[in-house]
Structure 1
Amino acid sequence: MNLSRPLLLASNSPRRKELLASLGLTFDVRVKDVHEDFPEHLKREEIAEYLASHKADAYTSDLENEVLITADTIVCLGDRTLNKPADFEEAFEMLRFLSGTWHEVITGVCILSQETKHVFHDATKVYFKNLTDEEITYYIQNYKPFDKAGAYGIQEWIGMIGIEKIEGSYFNVVGLPVQKLYTKLVELGFLMC
């Protein structure tokens, strides 16, 4: 894989770093503290795309010849958006809410350079079995999922014992739709095979 320009990832997420590295790409991490507020009228994929784009906007004046990637993942059940839980009680409530039902994980991605800004999203449907209170408590106490939308990581214990099926990209649920990202980087001429 040959990049036409230096690649930057604007994320502290170890999962996103690992996924991007797994594509065989070399990149630097550059992180700024950006508030993750969004207008209340936005729904589902609009929220994910808005947040990814908003994060990228903080870097507009810093870019020279680089290509920047930002992303934001949200969990949705119906019209409710589940962000990162603030504490044990909120995490417990979220997992209880997701138990025994389908929900959707949406990741918005922004690819930004001096010449272009390309925003897209991917959505994956996820089904949790009926989780017991003991399973939820064990997971929260041992894995502390307070940095994860919807209070869980599919790659962690709760995903292994609780997720019965998914429709769509597994990697999107982890936090980065790598297949779509790869395709967009090639289409935009930033990546050559």
Structure 2
Amino acid sequence: MHYSENEEQKNLLNHFLASNGVELSAETLDKLYKFADLVVDTKEYGNLISEKDSQKFLSRHIADSLVPYIYIGKDLKGKRWADMGAGAGCPSFPLAIAMPEVQFYAVEPRNKRVQFMNFVKDQLHLDNMTVVGKRFETSGLAYLDFVSCRALSTFENDWERAQPGLARGGQFVTLKSFNNIVHLENDPAVHIYKYALPQEEQEYALVTRGNE
């Protein structure tokens, strides 16, 4: 699979970004395509993605990973951002590619995933990415401006894990199916941004909570 040659997937991603007021440089898009190729084609670190998802990696996983950039990714120069349970690198690597001025930490305890993310970091020359081979709770990361996760656990459990690592005024950021966070709609402590992904039927949500 070479996503740089997959015009349908590229068009779906670019239309999604444009419809949300985002235009990325050709260099940034090229790095995103290379990241997608590495996730789909690299086999020596185990099965990183299902066959079904490998066919729509740009329109499903890259697009989803960039949602925090769309809504809160402006003017973040010098900020520190950790992603819990980073897996194969979504959303942390697409975000690091889109925001080179932000320092990212991809936190993941599984050794094969850690090896893969370090391989990708070297392949893409991502100087703003640090891969941390631990659970977030034992990572030693603290006073962070942002802590994120994608479809990890419940919002409440994820917030409980993230909050101790946040600086005062920092933000917890998570990507969920909207059905899984609908109970938070009237919670004044959270902000919910609903969105749809290309060719996906369900509704999704970016949920943020500040550490006051």
TM-score normalised by the chain length of structure 2: 0.28
Larger Rg: 1
Say which structure is richer in helix: 2
RCO higher in structure (CA 8 A, sep ≥6): 1
Say which structure is richer in strand: 1
